[in-house]
Amino acid sequence: MDATATVTPFSTLIRTASHEQHTEAETSTFMSDLLGGRLGVDAYTRYTEQLWFVYRALEEGSEALRDDPVAGPFIQPELMRSTELERDLAHLRGADWREGLEPLPATAAYAARVAECARTWPAGYIAHHYTRYLGDLSGGQIIRDKAEKTWGFERKGDGVRFYVFEEITNPAAFKRGYRELLDAVNADDLEKQRIIEECKRAFALNTAVFRDLGEVFPLSA
Ligand code: HEM
């Protein structure tokens, strides 16, 4: 057995293990086109819709996990994004935003996996929680800035509220605290390894959503 596995903090292990998938998601064609300002606000809207399905699964599932000995410490109200996404969608799609809203196939598969973990495997749910929320607190801020400039949303206003964590005044400190939670996770080495595998799966599920979105919004130019 690799002796370093027992001494390297879990937060470092999970970050290092998902590094390659992170780069893949970050450099996906859809993300590159979106961040490169080459797509219209309709693509941004469709992307935000996909996020709503994913966060609904994450946050509906979180209620029942609040007192769970493994996932419980991660459930923090200041992270919740569903309300913000709904405000953004009302701005982007209008008051009847929910009407006719359907997930892309990859989004439906992603949300189903999150819901399944929430129901049956709290440690696996942590992998999904980490992949989304720590990402939103990090690279999400780059996306917000780009979206504001490209499509003219008010700074931190409707349309980009998803990226604004009103109750987290110091994201760097919050992320440090989050990594401490990961390091103290109530799981043995084998279970930690399984969480890392689920994290890689979470990244792959995100990349699949980008692939579906890329097919809906190919660059025609
Ligand atoms: C264009 C898209 C993206 C950009 C520009 C981006 C950028 C970044 C940056 C700069 C960090 C480092 C922050 C720090 O050191 O504290 C980070 C961390 C992170 N990102 Fe992304 N990212 C993108 C997409 C994604 C996606 C699609 C996911 C997964 C859904 C994701 C998940 C994460 C996670 C989990 C972390 C935290 C790593 C850790 O410190 O443990 N990111 N991202």
What average pLDDT values come out for the chain (221 residues) when binned by 10 residues? 69 97 94 95 98 98 94 98 98 97 98 98 98 95 96 97 97 97 97 98 97 89 47
pLDDT, residue 221, reads: 47
Backbone angles phi, psi at 9, to 5 degrees: -55, 145
Tally of CA atoms within 13 A in the half-sphere of 135 that contains its CB: 21
Q: Widest CA span of the chain, in angstroms?
A: 56
Residue ranges lining ligand 1, Cβ < 6 Å: 11, 15, 22, 25-26, 31, 35, 130-132, 134-135, 138-139, 142, 175, 203, 206
* Residue nearest atom 41 in ligand 1 by C-alpha distance: 15
Tally of CA atoms within 13 A in the half-sphere of 45 that contains its CB: 14
CA 169/CA 75 separation, integer angstroms: 18
CA 31/CA 78 separation, integer angstroms: 26
Which one of 47, 138, 176 would you pick to mutate in the ligand 1 pocket, going by the greatest count of ligand atoms within 8 A of its CB? 138
pLDDT, residue 2, reads: 55
**What does pLDDT average to over the chain?**
95
Task: Please identify, by atom number, the ligand 1 atom nearest to the C-alpha of residue 210.
Answer: 27
Query: pTM for this one?
Result: 0.94
